[in-house]
Amino acid sequence: MDNFAQNWLDIQCKIITDCYCALLLMIEPASNTLLPMAQWPPGNKEPIQLLTIAQLALKKGIPIVNPKVLAPESEHQAFDYFASPIFIESHLVGVIAVKTAIQSEQNQQQILAILDQGKKWLKLSTAQSQISSSKDFYSIVVSLAVACLDQDTYNETLIALITALTQQFQCERVSIGEIRRNHTEIVALSHSAKIDSRANLMRTLANAMDEAVDQDRIIVHPSTENQPDYINRAHLELSRKYGTGSICTLPLIYQDSIFAAITLERSEENPFAPAIVLLLEQTLSLLSPFLQLKREDEKSLPDKICSRLKKQLSGLFGLKQLGLKLSAVAIILLLGAASAIKGDFRIHADAVLEGKVQRVVAAPMQGFILTADARAGDTLKKGELMATMDDADLKLEAVKLSSQQQQSAREYREAMSDRDLVKISVLSAQLEQVKAQLQLVNEQLQRTSIVAPFDGVVIEGDLSQSLGSPVERGASLFKMAPLEGYRIVLNVNERLISYVQAGQTGTLALSSLPERHIPLTVEKITAVSSAEDGNNIFRVEASLHNHSDLLRPGMAGVGKITAGQKPLLWIWTHELVDWVTLWFWSWWP
């Protein structure tokens, strides 16, 4: 067992990609302790580090992967550790632990599959007594594996394998066929350098392999009495046409899928005994992963892509992976329904409520603010007091002018009594001038009280914090808007402005009244954009059909403009498609 275990471990480590070291431990039945049976490379002390993960795999009874473990002597180099327990007839008998370079997730699964296939070899030690004493059991197994592992290319590996099988099992002819387009095609034949797929022998051999592949079993001709019934018409035809007395066809399996088959032919005097068939089955089960991986590795990049795609499609349309199929069908149905069903295409935009008319209440004259009775947000009636200006200077000016008027009137009367025509003319002009100045001051005194010009709401202006401050004539003090007649200003992004047209309808939802949807109609689209938050925005004006008394200028919300009927899939994806199209065009030479 020691020789076999070491040779077996050597083969495993040659198959595994970037293997650093490995350790095979077996459980001693008497003391129930772990004993090292083999290690790779021989005499290396590094496999001692694999004991921890090996004990963990034994404890859990399942394969363990511990990826990207930093080496103790280096903080920059990491390795992947694998451990897989070994069961023989449901009894835990040992564990194999392997240390490799960092692997991809797919390679990790392949390594576990290789270890799982290789563990079947350990069961062969119980069948050693069934092999002829003239042949050493272990030398046959190792020689077949070494013959394959020493080759550089896949075709050389096949030729070496059929040559070794021919020699070791005294076969007259050995052939290998691969599954291509659901049919077996011969790719290697012993004692033949050139293969013609149209030859009768090639077709007959391929039919025999198809017979074994279709039934997913090993077919031996002639069959023994203890074997179950199976169809072997193609094997009978091969034996009858080409005088082969004994035939054995074995499918090659990798990851639960048959990828090739091997047919061995012997003379009638040398049939395939059950022990020989068992040896062939176990040997090829170990070599199958190596053959398939070597075959896949030598494929060209387009072939690898097609093979990967075919594997995914077979998983999608085959009998397995029901969840994947249902998900794919659901996605296809959803996309089909979204492409066929049309819905309202609505353009979303931020909206602000404005009054159709806005009036500025300006300072009637130069002066100082005395009182402030109104502020932004107040609703006022026409003529209601908003603010007053300081009139002390104007009153003094009025008293002064009144005195001047009285004095000029007295002098005028005296001139009249003296009949001084020149003085009468001068005093008459002075009296008219004083009257005009006094009338102007009285008018200014009336304007010191600033009142609302109409019924409306103050949307801008608060003088309560500016009492006593000077103002110039014509300075804006308040802005007012009437309580009737509103318009909506929609800020539409430039990516969507092409879908907006005058006359389109929509709805408005304000932040203060989210439960109410107010109808609107697009009236005007400005031709000039403005930049806001890194986006170009176009101003779109819309009118309201009916509105609530609760509306006030300055309210904000979200407006939706209905721009026609479009497929749901287009509605969901058009912005992304437009962005990708523009990006692709900008980079296209």
**What percent of the chain is predicted at pLDDT more than 70?**
89
Is the same domain home to 307 and 293?
no
* Cβ within 8 Å of residue 326, ≥6 positions away: none
* Cβ within 8 Å of residue 497, ≥6 positions away: 525, 538, 540
* Cα-to-chain-centroid distance, residue 372: 60
CB 205 within 8 A of CB 238: yes
Neighbouring C-beta atoms of residue 526, cutoff 10 Å: 14
In the beta sheet, which residues pair with residue 266? 246
pLDDT at residue 135, as a whole number: 45
Q: What predicted TM-score, i.e. pTM, was given to this entire model? A: 0.41
Question: Residue 175: which pLDDT band, with cuts at 50, 70 and 90?
Answer: very high
Indicate the Cα dihedral angle 458, 461, 463, 465, nearest 10°.
Answer: 120
User: Could you give phi then psi for residue 206, rounded to 5 degrees?
Assistant: -65, -40
Is the same domain home to 92 and 39?
yes
User: Integer distance in angstroms from the first to the last C-alpha of the chain?
Assistant: 69
In a domain, 339, yes or no: no
Tokens 């009137």, residue? 409
Amino acid at 145: A
| Lowest-confidence pick of 9-23, 81-95, 350-364 | 350-364
Number of domains in the chain: 5
In a domain, 347, yes or no: no
* ∠ CA 194-197-198, rounded to 5°: 115
CB 290 within 8 A of CB 148: yes
Q: How many CA atoms lie less than 13 Å away from 82 in the CB half-sphere?
A: 28
Is the same domain home to 111 and 137?
no
- Retrieve residue 255's tokens: 């990851």
**What percent of the chain is predicted at pLDDT more than 90?**
8
* Cα-to-chain-centroid distance, residue 296: 29
Model confidence pLDDT, tens digit, residues 32-86 = 777 888 888 877 766 566 888 888 888 888 999 988 888 776 667 888 999 999 8
Neighbouring C-beta atoms of residue 57, cutoff 10 Å: 23
Start-end of H helices in 99-152: 105-122, 137-149
In a domain, 386, yes or no: yes
Alpha carbon distance 542, 522 (integer Å): 4
Helix, strand, coil shares, percent, the chain, to 5: 40, 30, 25
Is the same domain home to 464 and 532?
no
- Of residues 539 and 482, the one with the higher pLDDT is 539
What b/e readout covers 59-84, taking b as 16+ CB neighbours within 10 angstroms? Answer: eeeebbbeeeeeeeeeeeeebbbbbb
Shortest CA distance to 407 belongs to which of 378, 379, 430? 430
Start-end of H helices in 185-300: 200-215, 233-242, 274-297
Model confidence pLDDT, tens digit, residues 361-397 = 887 777 788 887 787 777 778 878 888 887 777 778 7
Does the structure show a pLDDT above 90 at 245? Answer: no
Alpha carbon distance 195, 200 (integer Å): 11
Does the structure show a pLDDT above 70 at 149? Answer: yes
Is the same domain home to 142 and 285?
yes
Tokens 């008027």, residue? 405
CATH number at residue 490: 2.40.30.170
Amino acid at 342: K
Model confidence pLDDT, tens digit, residues 444-482 = 777 777 788 877 778 777 777 778 788 888 788 888 777
Q: Which of 130, 145, 169 is the last residue of a domain?
A: 130
Helix axes 274-297, 2-15, angle to 10 degrees: 30
Model confidence pLDDT, tens digit, residues 548-564 = 667 777 788 999 999 88
In a domain, 348, yes or no: no
In the beta sheet, which residues pair with residue 518? 508
List the domain range (segments joined by +) for residue 14.
Answer: 1-130
CB 15 within 8 A of CB 289: yes
Mean confidence (pLDDT) of the chain: 81
In a domain, 354, yes or no: no
Q: Which of 448, 479, 510 is the last residue of a domain?
A: 479
Average pLDDT over residues 522-545: 84
Model confidence pLDDT, tens digit, residues 289-339 = 888 888 888 878 887 788 777 777 665 666 666 777 788 888 889 888 888
Q: Kindly tell me the burial class for residue 107, based on how many C-beta atoms sit within 10 Å of its own C-beta (0-12, 13-18, 19 or more).
A: middle
Is the same domain home to 553 and 567?
yes
Average pLDDT over residues 171-190: 89
Does the structure show a pLDDT above 70 at 193? Answer: no
In a domain, 343, yes or no: no
In a domain, 344, yes or no: no
Question: Residue 153: which pLDDT band, with cuts at 50, 70 and 90?
Answer: confident
In a domain, 342, yes or no: no
Is the same domain home to 329 and 285?
no
CB 346 within 8 A of CB 506: yes
CATH number at residue 407: 2.40.50.100
Question: Residue 247: which pLDDT band, with cuts at 50, 70 and 90?
Answer: very high
* Cα-to-chain-centroid distance, residue 530: 34
Is the same domain home to 78 and 146?
no
Is the same domain home to 260 and 368?
no
pLDDT at residue 132, as a whole number: 42
CB 517 within 8 A of CB 507: yes
Is the same domain home to 456 and 540?
no
Alpha carbon distance 159, 43 (integer Å): 34
Is the same domain home to 196 and 285?
yes
Q: Which of 288, 317, 333 is the last residue of a domain?
A: 333
Is the same domain home to 268 and 312?
no
- Retrieve residue 462's tokens: 């608060």
Tokens 């001051």, residue? 441
Average pLDDT over residues 192-200: 72
Question: Residue 523: which pLDDT band, with cuts at 50, 70 and 90?
Answer: confident
pLDDT at residue 131, as a whole number: 41
CB 384 within 8 A of CB 451: yes
